[in-house]
Amino acid sequence: MDQERTEDQTNDFEAGMESASSSATSTSKLLGRGLDIGTANIAAAVQTEEGGVEVAVERNAFLDIKADVYSKNMLTKLKVPYVVHNGNLVVLGQSAFELANIFSRETRRPMSDGLISPSDVDALPMIQLIIEKVLGEPAERGENCYFSVPAESIDADNNVIYHQGLFEGLLKKMGYTAKPINEAHALVFAELADQDFTGIGLSFGGGMVNACVSYKTIPALQFSVARGGDWIDKNVAQVLGIKASKATSIKESGIDIRDPKTREEEAVSIYYRNLIHYLMENIQVRFQSGQDMPSFPDPIDIVCSGGTSLIGGFIEVFQDEFSKLDFPIPIRRIFRAEEALNSVAKGCLVAAAIGE
C-alpha cells in the first residue's frame, strides 16, 4: 500500500487543475457557493477572479457578557463583533473563543453536538449573522449554494431533518437556491478527483466525524459518529482533572501523538487512537453488513480532513490503528487533505457548480 501522497502526484494534480482552469474560466466567474456549517467553524467557499478559491471562516461560538456602555465601546473600538441580544452583549465567532480563553470561561456553542436543535432557537439569529458574514449576498438571485450536513449518527439520536430544513430555509430567504450535501461526500468531491471520486472521505470535526464511502461520485455508505475533537478534549479533561478548554489548548499546541512527551500528551494520544479505531471498525462492520455495497477491484484512497486531523502524527497513528484491522476494502493510501480546513467548503462549491 502506498500510504504517502507523493510530491509528483500532488504536482500532476495541480498542474492538471490549472490548465483546466485557464481553459474554462477565462470567460466568466463561476457561479455558486459552498458552505460548510461545522460544529466549530462556519466556512464559505467562492471562486475568485483568478480561478482560485477563497474561503471565509468564522467560529461557530458565542460568549455572553454583561451589557454596559463601557464594554460596548471597548468592543466597538477593538472591532470585536458583537450583537445586543436580550439585554446581553453577545460576542461572536473567533473573538468569543479568544475572550473566553482569557477569562477562563467556556463559549456557548449551540451546535456542539453536530446539529442545531429546536431548543437552540435563541441562537439562530446569531448563527444567521455569521452565515451572512461569511457567505455574503448572492451574485444573482437564485445562485446555487450547497451546504454541508452531517449524516445520521450511529451513536446519538440526531435531528438531521430539522437542521437541514432550517438552514435550507435560511439560505433560501437570503436569495440562494440552497441544497444540502453530506459533509464527507463533499470532502470526496474536493479531494478525490484524481481517483474518479472513488474512495473514503473522513471529515474529523469538533463535534463529530463524518464518513462517506464513495464509488465514482455516488455515496455507497455514509454515517457520522458523535465523537470528534470535543470528545477528545472532554475525555482528556476528565482523566486529568482539568478544564476542557485547557485540554483543547494542549491538543492544539503542536504536539505529536506518535511520540507523547507528557502525561497530558499521552492522554490526547490515547483518545485519538480510540477515536480512529472506533470509526474504522464501524466502517468495517457497516460495509460488511450493508446491502448493495460496491466491490472495489482496485485499492482506494482514504482522505482525512477537518481541524481534528491537523494534530502532529495523525496520519501515521491512523495507519498504525488501521493495520490492526482486517479491513474489507483494499486501501492504496491514507492521506490528509492539503487544505484540511477548506476541503468541505470547497467540495460544497464543486457540487454547487455542477448543480449535483
Partner 1 sequence: MEPKIDVLATLEAKARKTTIEELQQKGRRQLKVIRASEISGMIQESIRKTLEASELLPREQVDELVDRASAEFEELKEARIKEQRQARELATKLAKVQQDLEEAQKELERAHQECEALRQQGGAAAAPAALADGGASAAVMMKMMEELMALKAQVQQGAQGAAPAAGGNAAGLEEQLSKIAGALDEKLDRFGKKMGLSSAVDTATVDFSKLADRALEESAKLESNVDDVEIEKRKGAGIMGNLDKIRKMRGGG
Ligand X SMILES: Nc1ncnc2c1ncn2[C@@H]1O[C@H](COP(=O)(O)OP(=O)(O)O)[C@@H](O)[C@H]1O
Q: Interface residues with ligand X (CB under 6 A)?
A: 38-41, 205-207, 229-230, 248, 251-252, 306-308, 310-311
Nearer to ligand X by C-beta: 30 or 212? 212
Q: What is the nearest approach in angstroms of partner 1 to the Cβ of residue 20?
A: 5
Q: What character string, x for contact with partner 1 (CB under 8 A) and - otherwise, covers 248-267?
A: --------------------
Nearer to ligand X by C-beta: 198 or 224? 224
**Options 1, 20, 139, 325; binder of partner 1; rule CB under 8 A:** 20
Which option in ligand X, partner 1, none does residue 311 bind, with CB closer than 5 to 8 A by kind? ligand X
Burial of 25 (0-12, 13-18, 19+ CB in 10 A): middle
**Per CB under 8 A, does 18 bind partner 1?**
yes
Residue 162 phi, psi (nearest 5): -60, -50
Residue 256's closest CA among 310, 319, 328?
Answer: 310
- CA 255/CA 354 separation, integer angstroms: 39
Q: Cβ distance 350 to 34 under 8 Å?
A: yes
Task: Please give the distance of CA 311 from its chain centroid, rounded to a whole number.
Answer: 15
Q: What is the nearest approach in angstroms of partner 1 to the Cβ of residue 105?
A: 21
Which option in partner 1, ligand X, none does residue 155 bind, with CB closer than 5 to 8 A by kind? none
Q: Which residue bears the cell 512527551? A: 261
**Per CB under 8 A, does 129 bind partner 1?**
yes
Cell of 189: 468531491
**Per CB under 8 A, does 68 bind partner 1?**
no
**Options 121, 139, 285, 325; binder of partner 1; rule CB under 8 A:** 121
Q: What interhelical angle do 314-323 and 263-289 show, nearest 10?
A: 50
Nearer to ligand X by C-beta: 275 or 329? 275
Q: Is 128 helix (H, G, I), strand (E, B) or coil?
A: helix
Which option in partner 1, ligand X, none does residue 134 bind, with CB closer than 5 to 8 A by kind? partner 1
Cell of 283: 466502517
Nearer to ligand X by C-beta: 215 or 314? 314
**Options 37, 40, 45, 65; binder of partner 1; rule CB under 8 A:** 45
Distances (CA, A) of 299 to 96, 220, 287, 302: 44, 16, 15, 10
**Options 62, 197, 215, 231; binder of partner 1; rule CB under 8 A:** 197
Residues numbered 159 to 188 that lie near partner 1 (CB under 8 A) are 159-166, 168-170, 172-174, 180
Residue 272's closest CA among 226, 308, 222?
Answer: 308
Q: Cβ distance 256 to 269 under 8 Å?
A: no
Rg of the chain (C-alpha set): 21
Nearer to ligand X by C-beta: 41 or 269? 41
Residue 148's closest CA among 279, 286, 287, 343?
Answer: 343
Stretch that binds partner 1, among 101-109, 158-166, 235-243, 267-275 (CB under 8 A): 158-166
Q: Is 164 helix (H, G, I), strand (E, B) or coil?
A: helix
Nearer to ligand X by C-beta: 80 or 337? 337
Which option in ligand X, partner 1, none does residue 128 bind, with CB closer than 5 to 8 A by kind? partner 1
| Residue type at position 237 | A
**Strands 88-92, 62-66: pairing kind:** antiparallel
Q: What is the nearest approach in angstroms of partner 1 to the Cβ of residue 64?
A: 14
